[in-house]
Amino acid sequence: MNRLQRRVHLMKESFMDNLGKMTIAEYFQLPNINITLSQPDERTFIYTFKYSNINSFKFRYDLPLELNSMILTYLYEYSIIEYKMYIPDDYPFKPPIWSCENIITNKYNSIQSNHLFAVIFQNYRYSMDWSPMISIEKDILNMIDSIEITKHYGNKNTIST
């Protein structure tokens, strides 16, 4: 095991020890998000973010059951996004590189472009101010912050004229 592999392994083990029996979403206190981690090789981490959101819907008793269920399908939003974090060879001195691998959603207006822009924003942020002290958990939190920032700017209702 070379120096990079050992450092990445120690950072991952430290993160898993900090998690304990909590999930990643519980650790970061994120509602309606399920985050899973897989590691196909020693330099690549794949984070799968699963968002689900049911907008407030009150069952209308004056409407047929089929119509209520059809309305509910339009109000239920889900997104499954896979992000890949690649660790470069000179990792402590160069930032990890994020990419968006897969997007599955039932909300097509701007979800895909928002998540692709989050990856671009994250990589650009690191090119401007990267520090070797940023750990894997801080990196995940920065990526979640990038996703939230792009969701905020991507929503047309939040932009005031």
What would the pLDDT profile of 30-89 be if each residue is shown by its tens digit? 776 778 888 887 778 878 877 665 555 566 777 788 887 777 766 666 677 888 888 888
Rounded to a whole number of angstroms, the CA Rg of the chain reads 19
Q: Which domains does the chain have, with CATH numbers?
A: 3-155 (3.10.110.10)
Residue 94 DSSP label: S
- Total residues found in the chain within this entry: 161
How far is the C-alpha of 100 from the C-alpha of 83, rounded, in Å?
5
> What number is the average pLDDT over the span 130-138?
82
Comparing CA positions, the residue from 80, 79, 82, 83 lying closest to residue 123 is 83
Q: How confident is the prediction for the chain on average, in pLDDT?
A: 75
Cβ atoms 106, 78 nearer than 8 A? yes
